[in-house]
Structure 1
Amino acid sequence: MGEPNPSRTPAATARAEDAARIDIVGLTKRFVTPKGETFTAIRDVTLTVEPGQFCAIVGPTGCGKSTTLAQVSGLEPPSSGSVQVGGHIVDGVTNGVSYMFQADSLFPWKTVLGNVMIGPVLLGTPKREATALAMDWLRRVGLAGFEDRYPHQLSGGMRKRVAMAAALINRPRILLMDEPFGALDVQTKAIMQTELLQLWEELRPSVLFITHDLDEAVALSDRVVIMTSSPGTVKDIFDIDLPRPRGDVQEIRHEKRFLEIQGQIWDSLKDEVTRAYQQTAGAAA
């Protein structure tokens, strides 16, 4: 018999899982406004995302959802509190993390293939191998045959597929998604959600998913976090007990249990949405 593969031992598996754990403790972020005033975007946010967990964050506009994501990615430093990924304090751009933004983040001068393969190339993968890997991921997201197109030659849904392939090609341990499907039409959005679930089931990164769409949050997630109106902090956390794999999200939304969970979360969320609306309406008056 050959030597055991150290990468498959229980200890190695445990280490790989721990590397995908996100611990947010007492996270606060303040900004200085153009008028020189201090604005607190989020305050004392505490949240844990377990390895391989799909966690959605919902809350009213301006509650600091995107700010929280920026702290986890290392793109912005916290004012106080901490973020740990894999047990290590985040003090810069975090390795093994992919970020999918709401707006298209594709390079307009690169082809579809060039956009998807840029991640492996930057990590030192030989060009031929990176090309083959990118071709495989384009096949997975249904874009085989579109390798030589440019982003402006694609529909919005197709550009999102390119972005999703680019985010997943390096098999990240953590995937951060900031309203990635918010600008899509209802039909395309449902297709993209189903495709995301299928790819996530295969790779199982830990996911922090920002959305304003409560149905989307429930259909995709293991856990839904409700944030308060500004300054944002965690109000409630709901565990989603819908069975996996979940299949077509359009069908999930008609299930009795889905409607029960959605209703419970909305009871918590609606007060924050109302409060945020009153704050902005008062400011505009």
Structure 2
Amino acid sequence: MDANHHHRPPAAPERAEDAAGIDIVGLTKRYLTPKGEIFTAIRDVNLKVEPGQFCAIVGPTGCGKSTTLAQVSGLEQPSAGSVSVHDQIVDGITKGVSYMFQADALFPWKTVLGNVLIGPVLLGTPKREATVLAMDWLRRVGLAGFEDRYPHQLSGGMRKRVAMAAALINNPRILLMDEPFGALDVQTKAIMQNELLQLWEELRPSVLFITHDLDEAVALADKVVIMTSSPGTIKDVFDIDLPRPRGDVQQIRHEGRFLELQGRIWESLKDEVTRAYKQTAGAAA
């Protein structure tokens, strides 16, 4: 075998026709509280995400954003309405979905390489082949040389890179991201946003990205969805017509069109944030 055979990362597969559209229709989710009362987390959510589209969901705390992701992944069943992925009703765990959470979902007892290997090995990739693939992904996210470290030996930003490699190594059709950069400092967050955009451009999965950060939503997404305070439903959808590829998110934030879109979306969002704040302040009083 040629010594340089694995020197260059393999070309990313053509993704667009492989990505899956998401169609959420009349989605409602109710839970039983410990007191035996019924709590409606989301009500009548309707949302369409085109194949390969990056959709960000913004809304106040507790508006059901994470609940919506759980329905798309098939981790939970709807109380009413439906979720379809690739024109198939979700019933059970959705195929080809990767998840990235705010908390690092890494196994502390496994090395960086061990964590990234999990996905391909579970899919039946032979260990040797999976290792080559995992090493390549660690190079892509800037962690070559850190294969043998354990999560506790890494900074928050580095753990996020491991989580991103682990989420993308299986070439997901759908990437669900629940405030993945929420806990990072501003500089690390900006670097991770740029890295995510670059990798998304290569692979083009459909993305549902939850965030509290309106700037982040506008800088990353094709479409920004505003959810109302509890019970969560969709209040507004904004198309983000900033050109792609977007390059540096820090620079984008100073552009006129970005500021115009951000201002319009904030008008819609601020009412919900204020209402949610009043609700929780009232509950705490």
TM bucket (normalised to shorter chain) is over 0.9
Q: Higher helix fraction: Structure 1 or Structure 2?
A: 1
CA contact (8 A) 2:53 2:205 kept: yes
CA contact (8 A) 2:176 2:208 kept: yes
Letter in 1 for 2:243: P
Letter in 1 for 2:54: F
Instruction: Name 1:81's counterpart in structure 2.
Output: 81
Instruction: Name 2:263's counterpart in structure 1.
Output: 263
Partners of 1:73 and 1:95 lie apart in 2 by 8
For residues 39-98 of structure 1, the C-alpha deviation after alignment (integer angstroms, 9 at most, x for no partner) is 000000000000000000000000000000000000011100000000111111111000
Q: What is the CA distance between 1:18 and its match in structure 2?
A: 7.2
Give aligned pairs, total. Answer: 272
Instruction: Name 2:112's counterpart in structure 1.
Output: 112
Instruction: Name 1:4's counterpart in structure 2.
Output: none
Instruction: Name 1:226's counterpart in structure 2.
Output: 226
Partners of 2:53 and 2:30 lie apart in 1 by 28
Instruction: Name 1:246's counterpart in structure 2.
Output: 246
CA contact (8 A) 1:18 1:87 kept: no
Percent identity among equivalent residues?
89
* Structure 2 residue 192 is matched with structure 1 residue 189: no
For residues 4-42 of structure 1, the C-alpha deviation after alignment (integer angstroms, 9 at most, x for no partner) is xxxxxxxxx99x737610000000000011110000000
* Structure 2 residue 126 is matched with structure 1 residue 126: yes
CA contact (8 A) 2:63 2:231 kept: yes
Partners of 1:197 and 1:19 lie apart in 2 by 16
CA contact (8 A) 2:19 2:52 kept: no
* Structure 2 residue 206 is matched with structure 1 residue 209: no
Letter in 2 for 1:17: E
Q: 3-state DSSP class of the match of 2:235?
A: strand
Letter in 2 for 1:76: E
TM-score (norm 2): 0.94
Unaligned residue ranges in structure 1 (runs of 5+): 1-12
In structure 2, relative to structure 1, the CA distance for the partners of 1:146 and 1:21 (3 Å cut) is same
Letter in 1 for 2:20: A
TM-score (norm 1): 0.94
Q: What is the CA distance between 1:173 and its match in structure 2?
A: 0.5
CA RMSD of aligned residues (A): 1.2
Q: What is the CA distance between 1:220 and its match in structure 2?
A: 0.1
Partners of 1:18 and 1:251 lie apart in 2 by 31
Instruction: Name 2:178's counterpart in structure 1.
Output: 178
For residues 208-258 of structure 1, the C-alpha deviation after alignment (integer angstroms, 9 at most, x for no partner) is 000000000000000000000000000000000000000010000011110
Q: Following TM superposition, where does structure 1 have runs of at least 4 consecutive aligned residues deviating by more than 2 angstroms?
A: 16-19
Partners of 2:164 and 2:20 lie apart in 1 by 19
Unaligned residue ranges in structure 2 (runs of 5+): 1-13
Letter in 2 for 1:61: T
Partners of 2:47 and 2:113 lie apart in 1 by 37
Partners of 1:37 and 1:283 lie apart in 2 by 16
Q: 3-state DSSP class of the match of 2:180?
A: coil
